[in-house]
Structure 1
Amino acid sequence: MHEIRGKEKIFVYTGPDGSGRKTVAKMVATAFDMETVISYTTRSPRHYEINGEDYHFVDEETFKKMQAQQEFLESVEIDGIHYGIREQDIDEAFKNHQLVYLTLNSEGAEKLKSMYGDGVMRIFIYADRDTVIQRQKDRQDSEEVIERHMSHYNETMSYKNNCEHVFENFDSPQVAYQISELIESYLDRNLTVTDY
């Protein structure tokens, strides 16, 4: 497992599907030299998703093989779909960047927190049920997919109180700005002053 050193930090964005957590995470990353770690999944890409940018889309056989070779730092199964983060990808990301971010479901966020402790800051992004449904419709998710996501809505929302920071996302640029300020102040606090 990667050992978090010095100023290295993992920011984990979590919250209900359709809350805009990926959009916000990407906006924040542009303000900092922040690298993302992309998860692997066995589900098929949605029409707006790009392999290698949103997820690494793999078939079940490939995923199970990677699992058997213990490539994943953590993996979860939700509704028969597998998701996993490769340990090597976290190592790679930290080679050139001190700040790394991931977008994960609450199970993944919890696992990373238990592994890395204070090295992980969880940022919970949410929107009310109607907004989340509307956003999923706007991106043309199928009724079946929306229904599957919404069946986890309450359970996901209950994770809110476990996270270090919580933001309601009415307006992604506004929330991205608030999170950028939060990270900025966090980084300032963590700068160590050395005597010359």
Structure 2
Amino acid sequence: MYQIKGKELIFVYTGPDGSGRKTIAKMVATAFDMETVLSYTTRSPRHYEKDGEDYHFVTEETFKQIQAQQEFIESVEIDGIHYGIREQDIVDAFKNHQLVYLTLNPEGADKLKQMYGNHVVRIFVYADRDTVIERQKIRQDSDEVIERHMSHYDEIMGYKNNCEHAFENFDSPQVSYQVSELIESYLDRNLTVTDY
């Protein structure tokens, strides 16, 4: 397992689909020298997503090959769709950056927290049910996709209290400013490195 050094930090954005976690993560990253680590997924890209920017979109076969080579530190199946994170991608991101961020489901956020302890900061971004549905409609998600996401809403909201920080996203620019201030506070601290 990769040993995180000194001031290296992983910020993990989690929360319900449609809460704006990715938007906020990208806005905040521009203010800092932050590298993103993308998940691998077997689902098809949505019309507004790009391979290599939002996810690594791969076939079931490719996913299973990566899994068989034990390259994933975490992989999960949600509604028949596979998601995974490669540890090597985290290692590569840390070569040129002290700060790395990921957008993950609660399982992924939990796994990284278990592995890297205090070097992982979980930021829970959420919005109320109606707002989340509205945002998914605006980005033209199908009714079927929205229904699938909403079937997990309460379960994901239940993870909020496990995270180090939570932000209700009414207004992305305002929340990204608040998150930036939060990250700034982490950079100012002299984190004590504890062995996990």
TM range (shorter): over 0.9
Question: What are the residue-to-residue correspondences of 1:8-47 with 2, within 5 Å?
Answer: 8-47=8-47
| Residue-by-residue CA offset, 1:94-148 (whole Å, 9 max, x unaligned) | 0000000000000100111011110100000000000000000000000000000
Residue 160 of structure 1 aligns with which residue?
160
Residue 95 of structure 2 aligns with which residue?
95
| Residue-by-residue CA offset, 1:39-96 (whole Å, 9 max, x unaligned) | 0000000000000000000010110011000111111110110000011100000000
Give secondary structure in 2 for the equivalent of 1:13: strand
How far is 1:170 from its partner? Answer: 0.2
Distance in 1 separating the partners of 2:119 and 2:191:
15
Distance in 2 separating the partners of 1:111 and 1:119:
13
Percent identity over the alignment?
A: 84
Residue 2 of structure 1 aligns with which residue?
2
Question: What are the residue-to-residue correspondences of 1:181-196 with 2, within 5 Å?
Answer: 181-190=181-190
Residue 129 of structure 1 aligns with which residue?
129
Give secondary structure in 1 for the equivalent of 2:179: helix
Let me know the Cα RMSD of the aligned residues.
1.0
Give secondary structure in 2 for the equivalent of 1:101: strand
How far is 1:191 from its partner? Answer: 7.4
Residue 69 of structure 2 aligns with which residue?
69
Residue 78 of structure 1 aligns with which residue?
78
Question: What are the residue-to-residue correspondences of 1:40-55 with 2, within 5 Å?
Answer: 40-55=40-55
Distance in 2 separating the partners of 1:17 and 1:122:
16
Moved over 4 A (4+): none
Residue 174 of structure 2 aligns with which residue?
174
| Residue-by-residue CA offset, 1:133-175 (whole Å, 9 max, x unaligned) | 0000000000000000000000000000000000000000100
Query: Unaligned 5+ residue runs, structure 2?
Result: none
Distance in 2 separating the partners of 1:185 and 1:114:
23
Residue 56 of structure 1 aligns with which residue?
56
Residue 114 of structure 2 aligns with which residue?
114
| Residue-by-residue CA offset, 1:10-38 (whole Å, 9 max, x unaligned) | 00000000000000000000010000000
Give secondary structure in 2 for the equivalent of 1:111: helix
Give secondary structure in 1 for the equivalent of 2:102: strand
Equivalences, count? 192
Distance in 2 separating the partners of 1:98 and 1:2:
14
Instruction: Give the TM-score, by structure 2 length.
Output: 0.96
